[in-house]
Amino acid sequence: MRAGWGAAAARWLLLGVGVVLANFALPRLLPGSPLTAPELAPLPAVAHQRIRAEYLLGRPWTEQFVHYLGSVARGDLGRSLVSFRPVTQVVGERLPWTLLLVSTSWTAAAVLGAVLGTLSAAKGQGRWTSAWLSAAVLIGSLPEFLLAGLLILTFSVWLALLPASGAPVPPHSWDQVARHVFLPVVTLTVSATPAFALVSRDLVGAVLREPFLLTVRAKGASSWGVLRHAWRCALPSFLTLAGLRLAGLVTGAAAVERVFGYPGLGSLLFDAVLQRDYPVIQGVFLLGSVLVLTASTLLEVVARWLDPRVR
């Protein structure tokens, strides 16, 4: 079922091209333009001319497309309509914060979910299992912004332990960064863990029913040894599915960053939307999509490498 190296690379390339194409086509196909947005103050004539010149507006779209491809290949995503700084620079400043948030909470949720899922799969059916499953469904259906609000109330307002919002001013010391990152990471981790737990419960449970594990048990393996065998088979699928959850985590991160005033891509997106700064919105879309695509492809390749049945 899992694709080979070449297929994974081809898929990555095709989907990457799809993202680049969408990034070119959407602003040109959909109505609405920074030049005519009614809710914004009209741009001065000089800015009009500069924007028209920069995107070759008014020229044939084939010419625009070639120009656009050249820019993307050079890593030039245009300039912000508000600050007139290069989009790569604007996005690059915020990217590390979101990377830190998403990668930490994804890893924490995957590990926590795997442990909880394994425990429940090993326990089998029972009253506790069904109570546990109901709780997982309940926590999993809480929106991230609700969890974020609850955590702010608990830890920032009532206990006054951690800052409710914002980022430390540079130069950043580790403990300051950790204090500001902690609550957003906990929010995303809590909301993502149930999905990971349910997936690993299904995967490990399915392997535990396989006949070869009966042999393992008959040879006198400890329950730890049995689970080690089960995870060797479940891990590849778990990694692939965990890679697919990354996209959902990015959505959650956008809301969480906004609620916490965390200086990542989500907050940047809010500012850019407010000012209809289209090049920045496009930059976030392009970079975010390519990064998620790359990460999930890499996970798929690792999964294939780990799979004892394919290797």
Partner 1 sequence: MARPAGAVALPSGRIPRAAWRGVDVPAAGASLVLAGLLGVALLAEVLAPYGPREVAGPPLAAPGPRLPFGTDELGRDLWSLWLYGTRTSLLLGASVGLLSTAAAAGAGIFSAGTDVFARLVSALTELVAAIPVFLLLVLAVALTGPSLGALVLALSACGWAVFARVLRVQARGELRRDFVVASRALGATHAWVLRKHVLPQLAPLLWTKFLLTVRWAVLVEATLGIIGLSDPVRPSWGSVLGSGFSYPLLFAGDAWLRWTGPPALSVALLTWSCTVVGELARRRGWVVAGADPHRSLEG
List of residues contacting partner 1 (CB under 8 A): 11, 14-15, 18-19, 22-23, 26-27, 30-32, 134, 137-138, 140-146, 149, 152-153, 156-157, 164, 195, 198, 241, 244, 246-248, 250-251, 254-255, 258-259, 266, 269-270, 272-274, 276, 278, 281-282, 284-285, 288-289, 292-293, 296
Residue 227 or 254 with smaller CB distance to partner 1:
254
Residue 229 or 278 with smaller CB distance to partner 1:
278
Burial of 235 per CB tally in 10 Å (0-12, 13-18, 19+): buried
| Shortest spacing between CB 55 and partner 1, in angstroms | 14
Half-sphere exposure for 163 (CA within 13 Å, toward CB):
14
Residue 227 or 239 with smaller CB distance to partner 1:
239
| Shortest spacing between CB 228 and partner 1, in angstroms | 26
- If you ran DSSP here, which 8-state letter would residue 158 be given? I
| Shortest spacing between CB 119 and partner 1, in angstroms | 20
Residue 234 or 269 with smaller CB distance to partner 1:
269
> Do the Cβ atoms of 197 and 136 come closer than 8 Å?
yes
| Shortest spacing between CB 121 and partner 1, in angstroms | 17
Residue 229 or 245 with smaller CB distance to partner 1:
245
* Residue in 238, 147, 217 with CA at minimum distance from that of residue 189: 147
User: What sign does the dihedral 54-23-184-259 (CA atoms) show?
Assistant: positive
* Residue in 194, 34, 37 with CA at minimum distance from that of residue 120: 194
Measured CA distances, 278 to 53, 96, 169, 249, 270 (Å): 16, 21, 28, 23, 12
